[in-house]
Structure 1
Amino acid sequence: MIEFIDVGTLRGLGTALVLIAFTAVTFWAYSGDRREAFDAAANLPFADDKPDVWSNEA
């Protein structure tokens, strides 16, 4: 039936699909719509609820 599909062709198609998926995820991650979420996530380590033990603040 389909004689032109061999292992090399399947590997090439798989590589092309992975490249397209990687490019799509990269554009999605670095799009301007995600900036607010990334800024909030970047400040999470500084959002500590516990007071510092060695602090002089009352």
Structure 2
Amino acid sequence: MDIDLFRGILTAVIFFAFIGIWVWAWSGRRKSDFEASAALPLEEDVLIHNKRENI
């Protein structure tokens, strides 16, 4: 097994891993997670300050 064959196989494995992660991230099951993350900048800072004071 020479280095070029190894590089080709490694490239294919990384490519398919990337595609798998991409499909997982954009699946319909993750929609609620995306919506919750999108709302984070709009939430009030009071909740964060209260949590820090209780520490």
Can you give the 5+ residue segments of structure 2 that lack an aligned partner in the other structure? 47-55
TM-superposition CA deviations, 1:1-58 (whole Å, max 9, x none): xxxx1000000000000001000000000000000011000000001133xxxxxxxx
Report the aligned-residue RMSD: 0.8
| Structure 1 spans left out of the alignment, 5+ residues | 51-58
Aligned with residue 25 of structure 1, among 16, 21, 25: 21
Work out the CA distance in 1 between the residues paired with 2:28 and 2:2.
41
- Bigger Rg, structure 1 or 2: 1
Taking structure 2 as the reference length, the TM-score comes to 0.79
Q: Which stretches of structure 1, 4 residues or more, deviate above 6 A after TM superposition?
A: none
Distance 2:45 2:5 in 1: 55
Which one scores higher on RCO, CA 8 angstroms, separation ≥ 6? 1
Aligned partners of 2:7 and 2:45: how far apart in 1? 51
Query: Which is richer in helix?
Result: 2
